[in-house]
Amino acid sequence: MDNSVRIGVLGASGYTGADLIRLAALHPAIEIASVTANTYAGKTMAEVFPHLSFISLPRLTKVEDADWSKVDAVFCGLPHGTTQEIISEILTENPAVKVVDMSADFRLRDPETYKTWYGHEHRAPKLQDEAVYGLTEHYREAIKDSRLVACPGCYPTASLLALLPIVASGEVVADDIVIDAKSGVSGAGRSPKQNTLFTEAGEGLSPYAVAEHRHAPEIEQEVSKVAGRSLYVNFTPHLIPMSRGELCSIYVRLEGGATAADLRKTLSDAYAGEPFVHVLPEGTLPQTQAVRGSNHVQIAVFADRIPGRAIVISTLDNLVKGSAGQAIQNFNLMFGLTETTGLGQLALFP
């Protein structure tokens, strides 16, 4: 693969890292040169993820043992908080490298907000300032020119794709947005925890982190930016007994006589020609099953029974368009490749 882009994957033992590799393995212009995972250093990927045993991959190393001078791009799937210093070092020592960060470390633009939600000062504030927010459809041009893209969280991706056009158009009241979010269990990661055991999360559902989830300030940051004023959103996530998939039911108050049909048209216009964002015709129901494993997003709009309100529902796969897939979409832009390269996989259904 002469013209391949050589990539390194930081945090390859987590679900986002693994899904990045699953997708990268089918990407015609990617060569996976390095995979790191400190806990599993020395092991093969096949030992850590049997479903990746059928392709040839480098052995896992510690972050500090990877040779970043030999890669063109780094995908980062580390837990939040650990990413900023590592990325900072890599970029300092290897200025030609481009970074696609799937962690939460560079998403929030405001250092104070970061500190409030993550409990410490940001350790790479200059990079935080430089990073481009990787919501592809809304930051496409900036992403093309960036060397550090902070891919949005899964919930923010689903919420913002639905909200930004209709907030920008002034058709909904920006500070009265209720987001009832539902996610599969993979969003909680691969570290063993009691509440994500099969026996605990199966055959039942529960809300969690009600009104205090870290994706709330991220959504607020972007909605505020488009609304032109600082505001709060309701964000209430629920843990659903499925492994993948995410659906946000967003309840909005209409402004200036707008109707559900108006919102649908605004969204359809905004995403006309987009390869991955699909606004459904009236009456068609979105479902996570339709996008599971793919980079596609469905958005639908419904009239509310309460006059002057509407319902906007968006769905995506939290590990793909909500993480690794959007990361590759951004990577393609950053390297001048066709945006859809390597992202042709359809949902695995049933």
302 forms beta bridges with 311
Q: Does 117 bind a copy of itself (CB under 8 A)?
A: no
The answer to whether residue 154 is catalytic is yes
Nearest-approach distance from CB 88 to a copy of itself, in angstroms: 31
State how far the Cα of 299 lies from the Cα of 274, in Å rounded to an integer: 13
Pick one of 42, 79, 111, 207: the residue that binds a copy of itself (CB under 8 A).
207
Residues 47-66 that bind a copy of itself (CB under 8 A): 49-55
Site for a copy of itself in 269-298 (CB under 8 A): 278, 284-294, 296, 298
Q: Which is nearer to a copy of itself, 92 or 340 (CB)?
A: 340
Neighbours of 331 (CB within 10 A): 30
- Candidate ranges 119-127, 154-162, 181-189, 327-335; the one touching a copy of itself (CB under 8 A): 181-189
Three state DSSP letters for 231-298: CCCEEEEEECCCCCCEEEEEEEEECCCCCHHHHHHHHHHHCCCCCCEEECCCCCCCCHHHCCCCCCEE
Cα 310 to Cα 303: distance, rounded to the nearest angstrom: 5
Based on CB atoms, which residue is closest to a copy of itself, 82 or 345?
345
Q: How many CB atoms lie within 10 A of CB 62?
A: 13
255 binding a copy of itself? (CB under 8 A) = no
Residue 12 interacts with a copy of itself (CB under 8 A): yes or no? no
Contacts of 148 (CB under 8 A, 6+ apart): 87, 91, 98, 99, 101, 106, 127, 130, 131, 132
Task: Round to whole Å and give the CA distance between 292 and 113.
Answer: 32
Among 210, 228, 229, 269, binds a copy of itself (CB under 8 A): 210
Say whether residue 241 binds a copy of itself (CB under 8 A): yes
Query: Per rule CB under 8 A, is residue 142 in the interface with a copy of itself?
Result: no
Pick out residues in 13-42 that bind a copy of itself (CB under 8 A).
Answer: 15, 18, 22, 25-26
Catalytic residue, chosen from 76, 151, 154, 248, is 154
Distance CA 85, CA 94 (A): 14
Q: How far is the CB of 75 from a copy of itself (least distance, A)?
A: 17
State the catalytic residues.
154
